[in-house]
Amino acid sequence: MRIRRESNAPRANPFPVIVGTSAGAINAAALASHADQFDFAVSHLVAVWRNFRAEQVYRSDAIGVIRSGALWLTLLTVGWAIARWWRLSPRSLLDNRPLADLLERTLNLHRVRDVMRAGHL
């Protein structure tokens, strides 16, 4: 932001294409959704990452870890047949629902189409 301001560059997004992988994809989506307000998008990302904690990605409290671990242990010891009967299908060792909540609060993906139509991407 500072470099953009000091060079008197336009306030809009300076990148015609924004891409990323993993955490970079989160950053890219946040920048893309506010490409028409680039300084705001950067400030918002700085605030998210500056205050970032593991609890925002997965449940790291004792109860959440014990519950998830107990489910996996049960499935490994009793068998996947019972899992089918209970209709259990764990996809990860830790519950990552907090990440979905963070992404929902951080990203405004509905704006990307409008920002593209307006020529900011």
Question: Torsion over CA of 33, 39, 36 and 97, rounded to 10 degrees?
Answer: 10
Determine the residue type at 44.
H
List pLDDT tens digits, range 8-21: 777 778 888 899 99
Q: Which parts of the chain have pLDDT scores under 50?
A: none
pLDDT of residue 28: 93
Distance (Å, rounded) from C-alpha 71 to C-alpha 86? 11
Q: What confidence score (pLDDT) does residue 27 get?
A: 92
In the prediction, which pLDDT does 117 show?
Answer: 93
**Among 7, 8, 10, which residue's Cα sits nearest to residue 120?**
10
